[in-house]
Amino acid sequence: MKVQPPVKVSQEKITFDVSEIEAILQPPPMDVKPFKPRSVLLKNRDGETKTMLVRAAKLEEAKPLLKIIQEKFLQFDKLEDVPDFYDIVGARVYAEILGWYRHRLKDVYTIVGLCDGELTAFCNGRLMNEEINISLHTMAFDRGFRAGAAMYFIKCQYCFDDLDQDEFWSTFESYNGWKRWGFGMAQPSYPWPDLQHELGGAKVYYITKKYWETSIKNYLTQMYDIKVDLNVSEELLAKNEVLRLPGE
């Protein structure tokens, strides 16, 4: 749109360096404590076990993450063939990873679970402010080992134990996600539509710090006999320094 200036001006055209524009468009980051690596011993129903290192994803790992999301979630020929809302989950996760990579998502954290370097699980979220942590998505690529449950729990742990935030907000696209974490953790919800989650304006399910301390902190051990170990050896870190996609 154009409006004639109401005063005589010395310059008819003003140009900007794109770095000046980027300072406005890129969300200014908060001072956020980095995610500390941790590990969990996963077990399936047959008794098989494996150790998963959970660490912050590196920015250069966005590209392989985008690749596997596209291959596993966005390659269906017909919408009728898509199971468990994979298409909308995949599309949203793809956009979130791009938002992280392109610096267009405010205070995002992207976390990967690796077993001997192989991508086993993924989760992400972002900080709305100093008090509220927004859960975005959680995925398991090796099913049956409860890796997804471990990653969702670890997001909560990061929110309350590491960042000392007040609330953790979630919503759920799929029935499985709601059953395992919304219903499974007996999460209350805020009045809708007064408060809405940013993922499509859906209902907000939440955990408070008090509820975390009194109940949810033991959820992973109680339900799945999984414990999170914050003491990670240099050997385990080295084994999982390089992310490898399943099958590569």
Query: What pTM was estimated for this model as a whole?
Result: 0.94
The answer, yes or no, to whether residue 9 has pLDDT greater than 90, is yes
CATH for 32-239 (3.40.50.300, 3.40.630.30, 1.20.1080.10, 3.40.50.620): 3.40.630.30
Q: How far is CA 247 from CA 64, 90, 129, in A?
A: 13, 19, 39
* Mean pLDDT, all residues of the chain: 95
**pLDDT of res. 143:** 87
User: Residue 28: pLDDT band by 50, 70, 90 thresholds?
Assistant: confident
**pLDDT of res. 183:** 96
Least confident stretch, 39-48, 64-73, 162-171, 226-235: 39-48
Structure confidence by residue, pLDDT tens digits, 69-78? 999 999 988 8
DSSP states of the chain: -----SS--S-S-----HHHHHHHHSPPPP--PPPPPEEEEEE-TT--EEEEEEEEPPGGGHHHHHHHHHHHHS--S-GGG--TTHHHHHHHHHHHHHHHHTT-STTEEEEEEEETTEEEEEEEEEESSSSEEEEEEEEESSTTS-HHHHHHHHHHHIIIIIS--SEEEE--SSHHHIIIIIITTT--B--TTTS--TTTT-PPEEEEHHHHHHTGGGHHHHHH---EE----HHHHHHTSS-B-TT-
**pLDDT of res. 247:** 85
**pLDDT of res. 46:** 87
**pLDDT of res. 33:** 94
Question: Residue ranges of the domains in the chain?
Answer: 32-239
**pLDDT of res. 47:** 86
